[in-house]
Copies of this chain bind each other. A is one copy, B any other.
């Protein structure tokens, strides 16, 4: 049982879903391809953590709907008592920054400009997603409270990072003149 398995269990504890659905739901928070999710779900079914049912569809391909079993719920509860591991982040731009001094200003601006657009899109996505949630989920105990705080986390992180890219681009643009600047946090 790896971490992704528990994530799938956690999503299935909220709603029965197909593998395809799970892939889409988990995307904004944990990158995983369908080729990783489908075999995992099969194995979890074999281990009786999940039950499955094929649903016939006429206009779309048939789909396999998974549901969490009592055993699955038990394992999930045990996992929830364990402290969470430290977050891992891998960002190519971070490694490129290590040798930013070897490249020209134009290229540097282009690298951070592209990333800036990425953060703007993420902000837009999370703002929309939060906007569509009903008021009730803002209270602990509701089924979607977790999703609500995760979207707030995604939004806050994207905003902080967008501010950072803006600050960097500003420094890069002013790098020939004698101006100096400090990051404008808060």
Contact = CB atoms under 8 A, between A and B. Distances in A.
A80 interface: yes
Interface in A61-108: 73, 76-77, 79-81, 83-103, 105, 107-108
Interface string A171-186: 1100100001101011
A84 B161 contact: no
Q: Which of A159, A160, A171, A181 has the most chain B CB within a 10 Å cutoff?
A: A160
A117 B108 CA distance: 34
Contacts of A6: 95-96
A34 interface: no
Q: Tell me the interface secondary structure of chain A in the complex.
A: helix
Copies of this chain, how many? Answer: 2
Contacts of A14: 98-99, 101
Nearest to A79: B96
Contacts of A10: 95-96, 98-99
Contacts of A108: 140
Given A76-B102, A90-B87, A102-B13, A97 B139 contact: no
B11 A98 contact: yes
Contacts of A29: 91, 94-95, 98
Interface stretch (A36-44, A47-55, A142-150): A142-150
Given A101-B142, A156-B163, A87 B93 contact: yes
B161 A13 contact: no
Interface string A101-143: 1110101101100110010000000000000000000111111
What 3 pairs across the A-B complex have the smallest Cβ distances?
A160-B160, A7-B95, A10-B98
Given A29-B91, A87-B89, A149-B164, 11 more contacts: A6-B95, A76-B102, A80-B107, A84-B115, A88-B91, A89-B89, A89-B90, A97-B147, A105-B140, A140-B171, A156-B161
